[in-house]
């Protein structure tokens, strides 16, 4: 078929994407890989990107695809890059904007799923759920007093770093668990404070006061290693760190040091500086660490909604309409 084409960087995205595109007089060009959405290994090689960006009018991409300025400069016919993610840190949005290319993404539809996972990680960590499971499977059950004792969740303080949609959804869950909630965000949100009964604090105070420090802030060059050695040292020895945002917001080396030297009680991570996290990584050696492989939005329902938004965003731009969620400033 000769005509405009849309490139899709994976062949295992929900079928609604292909079904909706098939209704249009366009050619779908698809990369053959089926790896997880965050996988850089599953991303097409540069020569494929260059060819697609030169020839196609739209591209559907995922978290593992790094779309930098040099690639964007190759785009001659491209109108829209629609990412199957809320995060846009893998795309040089400024470069795209300068070239008049729309960048769209999927906020809102995954908020509740990510907040659910964050709460689940917190409880898994506090109540040693993963460790208990591991012990049963290893036949290591015994009844020594103190064995597998964890920490209360109710009546404690949650500290949220970044009060976007996910942070606010998490705050609602924490309030239902009878937790006090404090937060730090680059912009203060008085309406949410009032509506949810939560309190703003400077970043240092959140780290200092919280029993559970929850990282939900969006990734950007400014947030890289926001949680560094100095800030980890501000946390209470009894406090836990949970990161469901992006791996590079937390300095992994500093976190490993904090865990090894007992500056904090433990950590739960859905995201890593290196994804997939190698199975022999130092983080895997700690019993007080819970690790999951970037599954924040990984429910059938949420991924389906993300796909609907991703394809609708792209089609809207191609039809000259406003996309549902635009990431360009």
Residues lying near ligand DGY in the complex (CB under 6 A) are found at 63, 85-87, 110, 294, 296-297
To ligand DGY, the closest distance from the beta carbon of 300 in angstroms equals 14
| Phi (first) and psi of residue 107, to 5 degrees | -70, 180
Annotated active-site residue 142? The verdict is no
Nearer to ligand DGY, 82 or 297 (CB): 297
For residue 30 the two structure tokens come to 């698809």
To ligand DGY, the closest distance from the beta carbon of 178 in angstroms equals 28
To ligand DGY, the closest distance from the beta carbon of 122 in angstroms equals 17
Annotated active-site residue 105? The verdict is no
Q: Are 183 and 157 in contact (CB under 8 A)?
A: no
Please give the biggest Cα pair distance in the chain: 73
Nearer to ligand DGY, 165 or 208 (CB): 165
Q: Is 276 exposed, middle or buried (0-12, 13-18, 19+ CB in 10 A)?
A: middle
To ligand DGY, the closest distance from the beta carbon of 269 in angstroms equals 13
Annotated active-site residue 294? The verdict is yes
The residue annotated as part of the active site, out of 90, 105, 294, 312, is 294
The residue annotated as part of the active site, out of 10, 90, 231, 246, is 246
Nearer to ligand DGY, 63 or 182 (CB): 63
The residue annotated as part of the active site, out of 20, 199, 275, 308, is 275
Residues 210, 323: Cα–Cα separation, whole Å: 39
Residues 245, 236: Cα–Cα separation, whole Å: 21
Nearer to ligand DGY, 128 or 294 (CB): 294
Sheet holding 80-83, edge to edge: 27-30, 5-8, 58-61, 80-83, 102-104
Residues involved in catalysis: 246, 275, 294
């Amino acid at each position: 078929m000769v005509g405009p084409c849309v490139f899709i960087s994976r062949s295992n995205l929900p079928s609604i994407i292909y079904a909706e595109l098939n209704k249009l007089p366009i050619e779908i060009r698809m990369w053959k890989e089926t790896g997880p959405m965050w996988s850089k290994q599953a991303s097409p090689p540069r020569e494929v990107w260059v060819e697609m960006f030169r020839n196609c009018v739209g591209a559907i991409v995922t978290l593992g695809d790094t779309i930098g300025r040099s690639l964007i400069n190759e785009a001659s016919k491209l109108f829209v890059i629609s990412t199957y993610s809320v995060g846009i840190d893998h795309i040089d949005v400024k470069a795209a904007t300068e070239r008049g290319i729309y960048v769209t993404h999927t906020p809102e539809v995954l908020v509740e799923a990510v907040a659910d996972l964050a709460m689940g990680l917190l409880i898994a960590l506090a109540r040693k759920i993963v460790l208990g499971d591991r012990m049963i499977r290893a036949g290591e059950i015994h009844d020594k007093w103190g064995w597998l004792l964890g920490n209360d969740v109710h009546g404690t303080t949650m500290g949220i770093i970044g009060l976007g949609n996910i942070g606010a959804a998490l705050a609602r869950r924490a309030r239902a668990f009878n937790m006090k909630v404090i937060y730090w965000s680059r912009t203060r949100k008085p309406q949410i404070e009032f509506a949810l009964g939560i309190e703003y604090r400077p970043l240092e105070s959140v780290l200092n006061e919280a029993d559970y420090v929850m990282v939900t802030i969006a990734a950007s060059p400014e947030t890289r290693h926001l949680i560094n050695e100095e800030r980890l040292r501000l946390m209470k020895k009894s406090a836990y760190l949970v990161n469901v945002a992006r791996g590079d917001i937390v300095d992994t080396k500093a976190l490993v040091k904090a865990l090894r030297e007992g500056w904090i009680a433990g950590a739960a991570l859905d995201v890593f500086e290196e994804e997939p996290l190698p199975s022999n990584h130092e983080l895997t050696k700690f019993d007080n660490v819970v690790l999951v492989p970037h599954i924040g939005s990984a429910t059938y329902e949420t991924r389906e909604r993300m796909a609907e938004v991703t394809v609708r965003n792209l089609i809207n731009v191609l039809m000259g309409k406003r996309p549902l969620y635009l990431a360009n400033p």
